[in-house]
Amino acid sequence: MILGSPYLAGVDGAVFKAEAAYAKRHKTLPVALFIGVGGGEVDEWFLAASNIVSSTASFAETLHLRGYAGAEVTTRIYSDEDHYTVVPRVIGDGIRHLWRDEARKLGSSWPARPAADQTR
């Protein structure tokens, strides 16, 4: 799963409350999660007021500290990106990270170079 610049603090912290309730009943969380956010979002008034960067960091920290079995959480804060420019990086890096093992297995889709004696 890929989360990009999520609004996690909204609706009176519903995401954090749901995670805390989940933690009381579970020790596992079978998820591979890539979370990305633009560091420049703290420089945009509305996004700063919405706690986009700080709630993203807090959520990632909470998941790591819970120590859920089966949870793979990777977080990136892109200091040189804002809420809009970060989107392609989050998607691209998220796909590369989450499906890295599958991509390695695929190998190249290009034909192999012919042997030297076959090129004449």
Position 116 scores a pLDDT of: 77
More confidently predicted of 105 and 88:
88
Position 86 scores a pLDDT of: 96
In the chain, domain spans: 2-107
| pTM of the complete model | 0.82
At residue 108, does pLDDT exceed 80?
A: no
pLDDT tens digits, one per residue of 54-101:
999 999 999 999 999 999 999 999 999 999 999 999 999 999 999 988
Strand order in the sheet with 28-38: 2-4, 28-38, 69-78
